[in-house]
């Protein structure tokens, strides 16, 4: 059975990016404190490390993918996205608010790990 193990599955925020959607190109840059125009949505990009062993220390041979869970209440996730076997995923078109996120891994038999540590991100 898969389980989250400290230092075995390193849930790392290599990238947690807030970006506004809409608007067009153009050169120049904007101040980092600017908010997206009203009526637009934002995105959150998540990246994580792949687990390499099971709780008993045996090598992990049948990892099939990851699920991202998120919602607007801590530890109460209303949405699940199966990302497949990727280590970076962008949640797009999110309205403003605070989002709570966690990831699980699953194997070829459908066994799923416990949730990773939760992370919160506020979008303007």
pLDDT score for 32: 30
Q: What single DSSP character describes residue 26? A: -
Check: CB of residue 9 under 8 Å from CB of residue 62. no
CA distance 57 to 97: 40
pLDDT score for 102: 95
The ranges of the chain with pLDDT < 50 are 1, 3-36
Check: CB of residue 107 under 8 Å from CB of residue 63. yes
User: Model confidence over 57-93: pLDDT tens digits?
Assistant: 888 788 999 999 999 999 999 999 999 999 999 999 9
Q: Taking the domains of the chain in order of start, what are their residue ranges?
A: 17-21+40-123
Please give the CATH number for the structural domain made up of 17-21+40-123. 2.60.40.10
- Rounded to two decimals, the pTM is 0.69
Pairing of strands 97-107, 63-71: antiparallel
| Percent of the chain surpassing pLDDT 90 | 46
């Amino acid at each position: 059975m898969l389980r989250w193990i400290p230092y075995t599955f390193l849930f790392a925020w290599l990238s947690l990016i807030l970006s506004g959607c809409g608007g067009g190109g153009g050169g120049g840059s904007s101040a980092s404190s600017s908010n997206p125009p009203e009526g637009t949505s934002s995105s959150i990009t998540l990246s994580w490390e792949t687990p390499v062993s099971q709780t008993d220390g045996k090598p992990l041979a049948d990892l099939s993918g990851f699920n991202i869970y998120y919602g607007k209440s801590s530890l109460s996730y209303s949405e699940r996205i199966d990302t497949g076997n990727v280590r970076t995923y962008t949640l797009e078109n999110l309205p403003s608010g605070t989002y709570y996120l966690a990831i699980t891994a699953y194997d070829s038999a459908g066994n799923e790990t416990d949730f990773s540590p939760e992370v919160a991100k506020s979008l303007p």
